[in-house]
Amino acid sequence: MEFATASTIAFSGALFVTLLSILILGHRVGIWRWSAVGVGFVGIVLVMRPDADSFNVYALLPVCAALGYAASSVTAQLFDKSVPTALINLYALAGALTGAVMLVVFTGGYVEVATYQDWLWLLAMGVAGGSAVFCLVTAYRLTAPSNLAPFEYFSIPFAFLLGWMFFDEAPFHRLIPGVFFIIGGGLLIVWRERKAKTGDPLYD
């Protein structure tokens, strides 16, 4: 699967945040947010194209990533404000390390790192990923997830750019029009949240 395609599906996390907010935080969800989830789901199906010959089970992995991202975003709000964000980040990374070790053990996926350059790339990935998790946890503890969704969608153009620069990919035929449904569903949730703060029952 192309880098931009996988990234676009993964950015459907804002839609899963709405679903998990009901199950975990007990939030009440009305017709507008359910409509947004439906629109986003249509976008995911259009991008994945389960009826296409190129579809395989690995196309579901970005969906799992979006679900995991949404779960971490929602559960970050359950921590007491007195708990340091750095400590939460440490626990999250420890859990990720445990999961990675289990995958290596049970899938036989261990490959020896051959060069120092590979070690540098792995180190860069670790630093960038750890910093990103810390920033995300901090942001989600300070404000509602819906307030951050618009900024997340800015990453989709960057995914296009990085896929083109590093992998010579331009999967526009696969992403359009599904990407617009995913972005539209997320922004509809944001719009509804902003209107709901005014106390207008029409925007439930």
What value does the mean pLDDT take over residues 10-38?
74
pLDDT on residue 154: 62
What 3 state SS string does the chain have? Answer: CCHHHHHHHHCCHHHHHHHHHHHHHCCCCCHHHHHHHHHHHHHHHHHHCCCCCCCCHHHHHHHHHHHHHHHHHHHHHHCCCCCCHHHHHHHHHHHHHHHHHHHHHHHCCCCCCCCHHHHHHHHHHHHHHHHHHHHHHHHHHHCCHHHHHHHHHCHHHHHHHHHHHHHCCCCHHHHCCHHHHHHHHHHHHHHHHHHHCCCCHHHC
pLDDT on residue 34: 73
Interval 132-151: pLDDT, tens: 878 877 877 777 665 666 56
pLDDT on residue 2: 67
Residue-number span of the structural domain to which 184 is assigned? 3-203
Summary mean pLDDT of the chain: 74
Interval 76-110: pLDDT, tens: 778 777 888 788 878 877 888 888 788 777 776 66
Cis amide bond preceding 157, omega within 30: no
Percent of the chain having pLDDT more than 70? Answer: 70
Our measurement of the distance from residue 55's CA atom to the centroid of its chain's CA atoms, rounded to an integer in Å, reads 21
pLDDT on residue 204: 52
Cβ distance 18 to 188 under 8 Å?
no
Total structural domains within the chain: 1
pLDDT for residue 174 is more than 70: no
pLDDT on residue 164: 77
Q: Which residues contact 89 (CB under 8 A, 6 or more apart)?
A: 130, 133, 134, 137
